[in-house]
Structure 1
Amino acid sequence: MPDRHDHRRLGRELDLFDTDPLIGAGLPYWLPDGAAVRHTLEEYIRTAERKAGYRHVYSPVLGKRELYEISGHWSHYSEDMFPPMDLGGEQVVLRPSLCPHHAVIYRSRSHSYRELPLRMAELGGMYRSELSGVLGGLTRVRSIHLNDAHIFCTLEQVAEEARSALEMIRRAYEDLGITAARYRLSLPGPGGKYVAAPEMWQRSTALLTDVLDRSGLVYEAVEGEAAFYGPKIDVQVTDGAGRESTLSTVQVDFHQPERFDLHYIGADGAKHRPVMVHRSIIGSVERAVAHLIEQHGGAFPAWLAPTQLAVLPLSDAERPNADAFARRCGELGLRAEIAGPERGTLGARVRESRLVPYQAVIGAKEAADDHVALRLRGGRRLDPAPADEVLARIGALTAAHSTDLWDGSPS
């Protein structure tokens, strides 16, 4: 991977994120431009989930140790958790996962088969005690914000919910310009890190294998990569150096519904156990942004870019027109920044804005006609066009999450 596309270096160079020893290793903070990318990505996935029938919740980042003893995290995962904290005679723990909280939320109300599948989503924080030697940039961190969801459904609904999650992943990758390196069926391996329930593993593995086979996706079964409670479909991505990591995942879980005694009332009036499908469309926000930085070299798709339009008045005389144009951008939800003559020559400002998707140059003639002369990222220049037309076309493309730039062609 060329060093210029290393997200750790490029992310700092572009003022997206940074770290500080006083905050600690593996705990990056987000600067304004990075926060804009993150916020846009979060809103994108929340909107996609709402359209797909998910409802969002919030849950605390702390839980009593007993919660994770019930879920199985304490016995199977505690070495990756932060130590418990004593609080009023109890022990509380920074959560390593959101699923126990969602199981408790489901359990807090009675449910009928008519409500299923019940799709519960949260973009929530979780914490893992990663060793300092494996920490790096945004890829491996100790404070993680996961695009997580849990679908509580009948056994008959599992396959369709898993298939739908894979389709959501496909669409998100298309909008983000991400290419999946491979699909992996992650299975248990030897050792005591997995729940000892052979029949449960066989059922869940058979379900995910059938989903993959019916999808037509090429995949590889790999032992030793499952969650401690069940197998997974993992969507793998690679960076420019060929290093592979998991970005998205779909899991089938019979374990936690049993441990938390979850149930729904069936058509027969009796209690039945739901199945819990875990899925994450973009994985953690941190890892997703790290991959996007490296995938695009900082030249994000226009809808995701921290600054979508750089407004370049030729001189101070055009500054009022530039200010008005930038305000119109803001009213349309577009992120614009004015790069005025105080920042150097036009050529210098164009070079400074090289990663911005659109550069709107306003000279005396453009100011008089309420036009802008648009330059596209990459250097192409378009003929001056009415400001309203330019904004309408750019707004439409960003609203559609297009990876293409407007080339000046009529709608």
Structure 2
Amino acid sequence: MHDHRKLGRELDLFDTDPLMGAGLPYWLPDGAIVRHNLEEYVREAERAAGYRHVYSPVLGKRDLYEISGHWDHYRDDMFPPMDLGGAEQVVLRPSLCPHHALIYRSRSHSYRELPLRIAELGGMYRAELSGVLGGLTRVRAIHLNDAHIFCTLEQAVEEARAALALIARAYADLGIRASRYRLSLPGEGGKYVADPRLWHRATALLREVLDSSGIDYEAAEGEAAFYGPKIDVQITDPAGREATLSTVQIDFHQPERFDLHYIGPDGAKHRPVMVHRSVIGSVERAVAHLLEVHGGAFPTWLAPVQLAVLPIAQAQEERAHEVVRLAVARGLRAEVSGPGDGTLGARVRAARLVPYQAVIGDREADAGLAAVRLRDGRRPGAVPLAELLERIAARAADRGAELWPAA
């Protein structure tokens, strides 16, 4: 069983420091590579699906969260306001949706522009109690792959359905398996916005989304967001612990609170529907899950080092460094592990999680070859360097899981 906290430290991916504070991990260079490639994958998938990316501040005035409802319904999970003098207070945002509502509201919109899909990979902050913090799965500084779709009522089901399809494609590419889908509904207590009409409409639409997508799901009371029901995509770690990674929500509450509108074909103002969705949830939780699923042996496109070049003796080190330069020129991540790092066997073992190893002796150096070892134990033999780099670049580009086609 893999524990991402142990792996993260062993592989120099991330760490924490008491002076930074609990629940505030920092990313080391190799971890930053994994995170960057994951973020770029999501942005690319979103661009292809018609999303436009924005940036918004991690701070907002307290008034903003009073309007959105976070201050009344979510205050216990927010950090205390900061006084800026006079009556002005700002808060570390607990969510991106109020900011995106303001971005939408900043311009007038016609029905012809809808659906308008706004995406951001942005920071948000939750005042989690120390006792529930753990590695990357529960943190206080969260980087969320978030998006909000402003659309007509008639478009809402299709947009939510398309968001679920985007999540499914991402899981297939990343090697993630959804353990179940949950329709999260309100429970007892004052946590939720008191508007039965909006809850009923949103729940009915989400049921239609799930049913028309052919997805089996379970309803769970008490798991909804304070402003509306949501579809939660659940994952299970190797220890059997379940968590929510991705979500899709249909929201009628915030469009009303922020008085959002668009101009319809009749020339009158109409209220848009706000579809919230997150493909991979928080980057922190996604990386934690990927670490545990793959045991640190990331797919080629995510691996911090894709190619380890191993000269047998000092005489081949210059050639090994030349191979690394050629690999880097192809956009690959490669490193030399020379005789000064230990015996060849020790270096092979040290690079056991690297997808490809290129061993270079005198014969290989003279002939422009590399003796290839794969992470899965196969040895395809001596391969021309140009062919090897082309194969690795192709696997990285298509995000394929197969390292080397079977003969």
Interval containing the TM-score (normalised by the shorter chain): over 0.9
Read off the aligned partner of 1:14 and give its amino acid letter: L
Distance 1:29 1:20 in 2: 8
Where does residue 234 of structure 1 map in the other structure? Answer: 232
Where does residue 86 of structure 1 map in the other structure? Answer: 83
Where does residue 29 of structure 1 map in the other structure? Answer: 26
Where does residue 106 of structure 1 map in the other structure? Answer: 104
Q: Find the partner of 1:156 among 154, 174, 180.
A: 154
Contact 1:122 1:148 in 2 (8 A): yes
Deviation at 1:408, TM superposition (A): 6.7
2:5 corresponds to 1:8: yes
Deviation at 1:403, TM superposition (A): 1.6
Q: Find the partner of 1:211 among 189, 209, 212.
A: 209
Deviation at 1:339, TM superposition (A): 0.8
Deviation at 1:113, TM superposition (A): 0.6
Please state whether the residue corresponding to 2:302 is helix, strand or coil.
coil
Read off the aligned partner of 1:6 and give its amino acid letter: D
Please state whether the residue corresponding to 1:152 is helix, strand or coil.
strand
Q: How big is each residue's C-alpha offset from its partner over 1:103-161, in whole Å with a ceiling of 9 and x where there is no partner?
A: 00000011111110000000000000000000000000000000000000001111111
Please state whether the residue corresponding to 2:167 is helix, strand or coil.
helix
Distance 1:88 1:110 in 2: 33
Distance 1:407 1:359 in 2: 16
Distance 1:321 1:187 in 2: 62
Q: How big is each residue's C-alpha offset from its partner over 1:18-37, in whole Å with a ceiling of 9 and x where there is no partner?
A: 00000000000001110000
Counterparts of 1:10-409 in structure 2, within 5 Å, are 10-89=7-86, 90-407=88-405
CA RMSD of aligned residues (A): 0.9
Contact 1:176 1:403 in 2 (8 A): no
Contact 1:236 1:245 in 2 (8 A): yes
Contact 1:190 1:224 in 2 (8 A): yes
> Which sections of structure 1, spanning at least 5 residues, go unmatched?
none
User: What is the count of residue pairs matched by the alignment?
Assistant: 406
Contact 1:382 1:407 in 2 (8 A): no
Read off the aligned partner of 1:179 and give its amino acid letter: R
Distance 1:266 1:236 in 2: 37
Read off the aligned partner of 2:217 and give its amino acid letter: Y
TM-score between both structures, scaled by the size of structure 1: 0.98
Distance 1:226 1:408 in 2: 47
Deviation at 1:392, TM superposition (A): 1.1
Please state whether the residue corresponding to 2:184 is helix, strand or coil.
strand
Distance 1:21 1:182 in 2: 36
- Larger mean Cα displacement after TM superposition, 367-376 or 120-129: 367-376
Instruction: Report percent identity of matched pairs.
Output: 76
Deviation at 1:378, TM superposition (A): 2.3
Q: How big is each residue's C-alpha offset from its partner over 1:325-372, in whole Å with a ceiling of 9 and x where there is no partner?
A: 111211121111111111011100000001111111111111111111
TM-score between both structures, scaled by the size of structure 2: 0.98
> Which sections of structure 2, spanning at least 5 residues, go unmatched?
none
Please state whether the residue corresponding to 1:384 is helix, strand or coil.
strand
Distance 2:360 2:168 in 1: 40
Please state whether the residue corresponding to 2:381 is helix, strand or coil.
coil
Deviation at 1:407, TM superposition (A): 3.7
Contact 1:68 1:74 in 2 (8 A): yes
Deviation at 1:381, TM superposition (A): 0.8
- Larger mean Cα displacement after TM superposition, 220-229 or 329-338: 329-338
Q: How big is each residue's C-alpha offset from its partner over 1:1-52, in whole Å with a ceiling of 9 and x where there is no partner?
A: x3xx111111111111000000000000001110000000001100111111
Read off the aligned partner of 1:360 and give its amino acid letter: A
Contact 1:394 1:406 in 2 (8 A): no
Deviation at 1:56, TM superposition (A): 0.4
Distance 2:165 2:314 in 1: 50
Distance 1:69 1:353 in 2: 52
